[in-house]
Amino acid sequence: MSTGTESSSAAAGLRGVVAAQSAIGDVNGEQGILIYQGYNIHDLAEHSTFEEVIYLLWNGRLPNRAELDEHTARLRRNYEAPQQVIDLMKQYPKESDPMDVLRTAVSSLDLYDAKGQGTDRDAAVGAAVRITGQIGHIAAAWDRIRNGKEVIAPDQNLSIAENFLYMLRGEKADADEARMFDIALILHADHELNASTFTTRVVAGTLADMYGCVTAGIAALAGPLHGGANTNVMKMLIEIGDPAKIDAWIDQALAEKRKIMGIGHAVYKTEDPRATWLRKFSKQMADKKGEQKWYDMSQAIEKAMLEKKGMYPNVDFYSASTYYLMGIPLDIYTPIFAVSRISGWTGHILEQYANNKLIRPRAEYIGARDLKYTPIAER
């Protein structure tokens, strides 16, 4: 009989387990290299756009000019979420968490998409275009609705990055900020079998539709150990408040075995290549706003964690102070992650559908066996 005390043969958290074959992205945790479909993230951040990266993730190759134009136009035609979904959001409790709202509203998109349920390539790409186009409208609309402001309709002349900032803040971003945000979307687009992407593939493996898969992905992303970390980084910076308090704060957190948000990674054992860009953006925003405090504090925490634990910042660490100085509300950071990661999720779902096998692993049973049922009156 299993006692539950013997050592497990299953890797905790499935660390190091290869659970799928994929051509979409790869993380080299030792060397800190991230690639999408063969292209280094630094190259894409330098030269590409988020729209082009979406094409790459869905099609496995870079588009030519005509293909990119057609793909971009198709996304733009699908920027606007159904009015019924926005109207429904107006009924939600105003204090609702934006990730709960995003999950619920994206799930409800399914009800207004007569053609979104197929899992063949054409139907699934159609649904992917609509969700990817509309998710920014939903995420931005919620912040307006909860603050009693008019929902801003998407502008088809703007890129996904420009449009999101416009719909959220009510004014168009300048070119530098729009490009910075576009790169941030590129950096968050895919990350191999992270928890939310794995979730979408498990759901896709049952041949559930694109909306069901993405809804599950949003649920997984919301957790503080995954996409929710960026919001918590900013909360931590605000809580510490004073650069002079950093060392003592970290020592106490570590003594209490609390995790420092935005630090550490399940795969990277060196600098996360996305953090390299976001550190630069955090500094760029600090200079632009003339407010160095959050960048300086982040640098000090990064240094302390490297010295004390040999740990590096991940993607969420510097995105927090970057978004903060862009005037984005703290709890919208994780929805922004979803606005980007939708591209990787949908890419993985398309890949799963194209060569599907139900994902059904086994558990190592550690419970009791052969117990004899006792009638309730005798217990």
- Asked if 261 touches ligand COA (CB under 6 A), the answer is yes
If binding is defined by CB under 6 A, does position 184 make contact with ligand COA? no
How buried is residue 97: exposed, middle or buried, by Cβ count under 10 Å (0-12/13-18/19+)?
middle
Interacting stretch for ligand COA, rule CB under 6 A, among 109-117, 261-269, 276-284, 354-362? 261-269
Q: Round to whole Å and give the CA distance between 100 and 106.
A: 10
Answer yes or no whether residue 263 interacts with ligand COA by CB under 6 A: yes
Question: How far, in Å, CA of 178 to CA of 159, rounded?
Answer: 9
**Given 316, 331, 348, 370, the catalytic residue:** 316
Is 265 near ligand COA (CB under 6 A)?
A: yes
Question: Residue 31: is it exposed, middle or buried by C-beta count within 10 angstroms (0-12/13-18/19+)?
Answer: exposed
25 within 8 A of 34, measured Cβ to Cβ: yes
Longest CA pairwise span in the chain (Å): 76
- Is 328 a binding residue for ligand COA by CB under 6 A? The answer is no
For residue 314, the minimal CB distance to ligand COA (Å) is 4
Q: Work out how close the CB of 191 gets to ligand COA at its nearest, in angstroms, rounded to a whole number.
A: 8
Work out whether 266 is an interface residue with ligand COA (CB under 6 A).
yes
By CB under 6 A, residue 127 contacts ligand COA: no
What is the per-residue DSSP string for 135-165? HHHHHHHHHHHHTTPPPPPP-TTS-HHHHHH
User: Smallest distance, Å, CB 260 to ligand COA?
Assistant: 4
What x/- string results for residues 208 through 227 when contact with ligand COA is judged by CB under 6 A?
A: -----------------x--
Q: Is 264 a binder of ligand COA (CB under 6 A)?
A: yes
Is residue 265 annotated as part of the catalytic site, yes or no?
yes
CB atoms near residue 202 (< 10 Å): 20
Residue 315 has which token pair?
Answer: 């993607």
Site string for ligand COA, 290-319 (x = CB under 6 A): -------------------x-x--xxx---
Of 53, 173, 189, 229, the one binding ligand COA by CB under 6 A? 229
Contact (Cβ atoms closer than 8 angstroms) between residue 109 and residue 83: no
Token pair, residue 367, equals 């419970």
Q: Would you count residue 160 as binding ligand COA (CB under 6 A)?
A: no
Q: Which stretch binds ligand COA (CB under 6 A): 87-95, 97-105, 171-179, 262-270?
A: 262-270
The CA distance from 284 to 72, in Å, is: 28
CB 315 within 8 A of CB 275: yes
Give least dist CB 176 to ligand COA, A. 26
- Chain residues 13-72 in contact with ligand COA, contact rule CB under 6 A: 13
Residue with tokens 């998407």: 154
Give the residue nearest to ligand COA (CB): 264
Find the binder of ligand COA among 136, 154, 262, 273 (CB under 6 A).
262
CB of 316 to ligand COA, least distance (A): 5
202 interacts with ligand COA by CB under 6 A: no
Q: Supply angle C-alpha 28, 30, 36, rounded to 5.
A: 15
Smallest distance, ligand COA to C-beta of residue 344, A: 14
- Examine residue 133 and tell whether it contacts ligand COA (CB under 6 A): no
Asked whether the CA dihedral 171, 234, 98, 110 is positive or negative, the reply is: positive
Catalytic residue among 182, 265, 272, 348: 265
Least Å distance between CB 116 and ligand COA? 30
* Residue pair 82/119 in contact by the 8 Å Cβ criterion: no
Active site residue 42: no
Give the start-end residues of each E strand in the chain.
25-28, 33-36, 39-40
**Interacting residues with ligand COA (CB under 6 A):** 13, 225, 229, 259-266, 309, 311, 314-316
Q: Which residues are catalytic?
A: 265, 316
